[in-house]
Structure 1
Amino acid sequence: MSAQHNTDVAIIGAGPVGLFSVFECGMLDLRCHVIDALPALGGQLSALYPEKMIYDIPGFPKVEAGALVSLLEEQARPFAPLYHLGQQVTELEGDAEGGWTLTTSQGVRITAGAVIVAAGVGAFGPNRPPLTGIADYEDLGPGRGVHYMVRRREDFRDKNIVIAGGGDSAVDWALSLSDVAKSVAVVHRRPKFRAAPESVKKMMSKVESGVIDLVVPYQLSAIEGVDREMQAVMVKNLDGEDRRLEADALLAFFGLSQNLGPIAGWGLPLERHQIKIDPADGATGLAGVFAAGDIVTYRGKLKLILTGFAEAAAAAHGARKALFPDEEIHFEHSTTKGSPGVA
């Protein structure tokens, strides 16, 4: 028999915005259940780059992604959320009383007065470069073969690393791994990068000093290896000229392919795989359903974690009003109200 639960708010997504939504709901005396398809809390921060430094969280000059997840979990803990991990919400159905019933891929049913969708980019996976035989070099273990994320920087110590891509992940990991790897080469199809200007400036300084080899404008063309043991990465420029880069590992950072999955069929207003909301309260247009984080869009939207935190607060207040429309909310700052379990 499948499990049945009842709660005030069901939060879809246990990434940083979902976790902060628990805190904001808790401060408004709302109970929460949280559902996530991944087996652990933290979303992309835990799954893709737990050791990556984040520099734009207010009050933290720098913080590891995994450490930030732990802090958010600790912040939410006093409100006793119930987590349903490793399962996807497959159905969202309205009920006669104006609430919602969520059914997961494991048969769990959760009835909630309100829903906050904080599912990030939805289900995600890496965009793989179109290289013949690339699958043979995937999943070879730490520091070897093809990788689409870095879990532990130490895995690449004393390795020859080729990094392909022109965004923040490529630049940030080039900077970080250059301190431990034997060599780091960055391959990009053009000399201009889409990363934070300050990070690009730091990378170029390491290029000038010979710590990082900048290979532009080139694109990946082939992988060389014997018995699934990578030896080199071949690259080609627009003139068809080849270059061989010695490599123990290739880090391919070409972004994520996103799939909203069942969310796309729930009748939410969508625009380019994102949910359109009213940023004032996170309302989606479906009564009692709110959204926050990377999954939402509106005019002026900035895809930053701190923006998602603000959206989580707005969605929590929206949910409170939806649940108790006739009750006046006396807003209190945390400095006056405090938080349960925190001295």
Structure 2
Amino acid sequence: MTKDIQTTDVAIIGAGPVGLFAVFECGMLKMRCHVIDSLEGIGGQCTALYPEKPIYDIPGYPCVHAAELIDQLEIQAAPFDPVFHLDQQVDGLTRREDGQWLLQTSKGTRIAARAVVIAAGAGAFGPNRPPLEGLKDYEGKSVFYMVRRREDMRGKRVVVAGGGDSAVDWALSLAEVAEKVYVVHRRDRFRAAPESVDRLHALAETDKLDLVVPYQLSGLEGSDGQLSAVRVSTLDGEERVLEADVLLPFYGLLPSLGPIADWGLSAERNHILVDPASSETNHPGIFAIGDISTYKGKLKLILTGFSEAAMAAHAIHPLVYPDRELHFEYSTSKGVPVS
């Protein structure tokens, strides 16, 4: 059964840092937002790939961890009551006769909006799944591709697979609450930040964490979706069985423009071309901000995306309020309006 159409002023595709800040900028101009993201939680790559990675170029923060930045952006956007549609992607985008854009998601959600802001980073993301027999039986029960709450891992035996920032960061974090953490990597060198790798090796000298290298995942044991053990092996055929309650395969996310590529937007090398003064695409009413957008001279930084979110919001205002002139005011003068 087709779901009823939900209406809003602005539909934002992508709940990463730039998408979240766009909620704030639109809210400051009294525009309501719905936010759609293909991941299970907000934060995009900051949450899914490197939650504990330090970021040094956010104004006002000499250093902030990625997950903390997302927490603060969520708090900043909260007064404007954004509606989140997570774990689904926008499959269809069409223009209605009344000029609004109609979005339909993979879960059948339908949203009508005056404007659309694409803040999808490098596109829609999906997990890079390891080729293990019976994997789907365990997904969402004891195999997860992102950690929504660290507390969910308290007292459990956790196998973290991977050698990048997300694997190392989560291994360090979960060692504080889990009964045991195993880190499985196919080589003895890690691709994470050197400081984090040093901490990982130091922790491996304790009984809280084991480095299982050079091994790779080879099989799962358990029943009814609950793991009891994870099998690992070397390229030479040496095998080990790790008693485990949870497997976290952190092999990265697979980016793709997905359905966005079929919307007739001008693109260059898998990036959407926009007007740098407004972030509007070649389709009036559709804007692109953050890493997914491009123009001559663009710097691929989060703070650039924040600026684009502000410019897009001001460009969208006359589409939502065609009879209301916008008088620019600093936030220090008008404060945060109460919805």
Q: 1:3 to 1:213 in 2, by over 3 A?
A: closer
2:240 alignment counterpart:
243
1:20 alignment counterpart:
21
Distance 1:194 1:104 in 2: 38
Q: 1:185 to 1:236 in 2, by over 3 A?
A: same
Q: 259-268 vs 327-336, which deviates more?
A: 327-336
CA distances 1:138-167 after superposition (whole Å, capped 9, x unpaired) = 343xxxx32222222233223222110122
Residue 195 of structure 1, aligned match among 189, 192, 196: 192
1:219 alignment counterpart:
216
1:231 matched to 2:228: yes
1:71 matched to 2:75: yes
Letter in structure 2 aligned against 1:242: E
Question: Offset at 1:312?
Answer: 1.3
Describe the SS at the equivalent of 1:72: helix
In structure 2, the gaps of 5 or more residues are: none
1:265 alignment counterpart:
262
Question: Offset at 1:47?
Answer: 8.8
1:138 alignment counterpart:
139
1:104 matched to 2:104: yes
Q: 1:165 to 1:46 in 2, by over 3 A?
A: closer
1:335 matched to 2:337: no
1:175 alignment counterpart:
172
Describe the SS at the equivalent of 2:196: helix
1:286 alignment counterpart:
283
CA distances 1:14-46 after superposition (whole Å, capped 9, x unpaired) = 55433321322343x362442426799836489
In structure 1, the gaps of 5 or more residues are: none
Q: 1:198 to 1:341 in 2, by over 3 A?
A: farther
Question: Offset at 1:282?
Answer: 2.2
Describe the SS at the equivalent of 2:231: strand
Question: Offset at 1:136?
Answer: 3.2
Q: 1:313 to 1:200 in 2, by over 3 A?
A: farther
Q: 1:212 to 1:102 in 2, by over 3 A?
A: same
2:217 touches 2:230 (CA, 8 Å); kept in 1? yes
Question: Offset at 1:268?
Answer: 1.4
Question: Offset at 1:267?
Answer: 0.9
Q: 1:26 to 1:210 in 2, by over 3 A?
A: same
Q: 1:157 to 1:301 in 2, by over 3 A?
A: same
Letter in structure 1 aligned against 2:332: T
2:31 touches 2:320 (CA, 8 Å); kept in 1? no
Distance 1:4 1:132 in 2: 40
Question: Offset at 1:64?
Answer: 4.5
Q: 1:262 to 1:227 in 2, by over 3 A?
A: closer
1:34 alignment counterpart:
34
Distance 1:187 1:227 in 2: 24
Aligned residues: 326
Distance 2:240 2:294 in 1: 42
1:95 touches 1:101 (CA, 8 Å); kept in 2? no
1:150 matched to 2:150: no
Q: 159-168 vs 306-315, which deviates more?
A: 306-315
Q: 1:61 to 1:22 in 2, by over 3 A?
A: closer
2:53 touches 2:169 (CA, 8 Å); kept in 1? no
Question: Offset at 1:115?
Answer: 2.9
Distance 2:187 2:329 in 1: 51
2:128 alignment counterpart:
127
Q: 1:33 to 1:210 in 2, by over 3 A?
A: closer
1:92 alignment counterpart:
94
Question: Offset at 1:220?
Answer: 1.3
Q: 1:157 to 1:110 in 2, by over 3 A?
A: closer
2:231 touches 2:240 (CA, 8 Å); kept in 1? yes
CA distances 1:294-322 after superposition (whole Å, capped 9, x unpaired) = 43356665464x55323312322444588
Distance 1:209 1:321 in 2: 60
Q: 215-224 vs 169-178, which deviates more?
A: 215-224
Distance 1:159 1:31 in 2: 44
Distance 1:157 1:252 in 2: 18
